[in-house]
Amino acid sequence: MDVMAVRTFVAVVDAGQFQEAAADLSITPQAVSKRVAALEKELGVRLFTRDARGARLTIDGQAFLPHARTFLHSAERAVAAVRPGRRALRVDVIGRQLSLAGLLRGFHRAHPEIELDVVTLFDSDTAIAAVQDGTIDATFRAVTMPGRQLPRGVEATPVFDEPLHLFTGPRHEFANAPALTPAQLAGRRIWMPGNLPGTEWAAYYDELAATFGVIIDSVGPDFGIEPLLDTIAGSTTLATFVSEQTPLVWPAGHNLRRIPLKDPTPLYPHSLIWRTHNPHPSLTALRRHLIAAYPGRPSSGIWAPKWSRPMQPERT
């Protein structure tokens, strides 16, 4: 639907006359008439009747008006979402159903006046490049792959360390354990079909496996969380890892188990990554909110990869 035609229709309604609407839109009355006529032709109805008193809405015009206003509002929001200097704060998370989305919901509750656009990029390289070129304002990532550095002008700070749980079906050997140590998982098969090589989460689990002798099995297609839950529920040998605060819902008959890992507790580290000179006025509020809420990483009783500490920017 032609946005300008709809905007012209609403302008005629508000002005009450085609000539007044033309003046408001800085176009000729003939142009107003042509736009309205084109809209009526597209809709297949008359929107106005014209007489000496001006333009009056038909019944169809009255029915169309509230939707036309909503349409224009949505169009304005769509333009603002991508227009530099006006768009909402754009933040990347790995998945909308993961715990990081909960961090953003907490920020939104604390700052309801700040508009947020949440996007999902695949891997850290793509996300950091988008931060660097300003396509997004910030991303949550495990910083980062071993041996890599952040680009110049891009910074990171830890904002969330999430404990891991073992996730099993009801007939798994550890199903009734109140807690486990990572050492007890040595030689056990942990099925993670979404553990794709080259991603930051694969780097994390590779180091976890090397440290504690766990076998990470990524063989098989990744059909998403629901098929994974179905498979885990029916297996006596397969288990997987999930983060403590990842919200999961499964059929009651699955009787799945989440078992905390302790001594040490593996932490999956999340950092907020942003460009130093990003001018978005809401980015500082997001950083302050997350940094204030971060309790800091315990000095003992936990495990995290050595490379998970925020890296220093590249120097020339």
CA atoms within 13 A on the CB side of 33: 7
> pTM of the entire structure?
0.70
- Fold held by 161-266: D-Maltodextrin-Binding Protein; domain 2 (3.40.190)
Residues 6+ apart with CB under 8 A from 211: 182, 303
Q: How many CB atoms are closer than 10 A to CB 120? A: 12
Mean pLDDT along residues 125-135: 91
Percent of the chain clearing pLDDT 90 (strictly above): 55
For residues 136 and 127, is the Cβ–Cβ distance under 8 A? Answer: yes
CATH of the domain spanning 3-80, picked from 1.10.3720.10, 1.10.10.10, 1.20.1250.20, 3.40.140.10: 1.10.10.10
**Which sign, positive or negative, has the C-alpha torsion 78, 84, 89, 93?**
positive
> Residue 85's pLDDT band (boundaries 50, 70, 90)?
low
Percent of the chain with pLDDT over 70: 93
Model pLDDT for residues 25-37, shown as the tens digit of each residue: 889 999 999 999 9
DSSP 25-63: HTS-HHHHHHHHHHHHHHHTS--EEEETTEEEE-HHHHH
Tell me the two tokens of residue 168. 């099993």
**CB contact at 8 A, 241 and 225:** no
Sort strands 138-141 and 48-51 into parallel, antiparallel or unpaired.
unpaired
State residue 197 phi and psi, 5-degree precision. -60, 140
- Residue in 208, 207, 206 with CA at minimum distance from that of residue 183: 208
Q: CATH number of the domain at 89-160+270-308, out of 1.10.420.10, 3.40.50.10490, 3.40.190.10, 3.40.50.1440?
A: 3.40.190.10
pLDDT in tens, 217-246: 998 877 888 888 899 999 999 999 999 888
Mean pLDDT for the stretch of residues 2-21: 92
> What is the pLDDT confidence band of residue 314, given thresholds at 50, 70 and 90?
very low
Determine how β-strand 257-260 pairs with β-strand 154-168.
antiparallel
pLDDT the model gives residue 139: 94
CA–CA gap between residue 117 and residue 91 (Å, rounded): 6
Comma-separated ranges of CATH 3.40.190.10 domains in the chain: 89-160+270-308, 161-266
Q: What is the pLDDT of residue 216?
A: 94
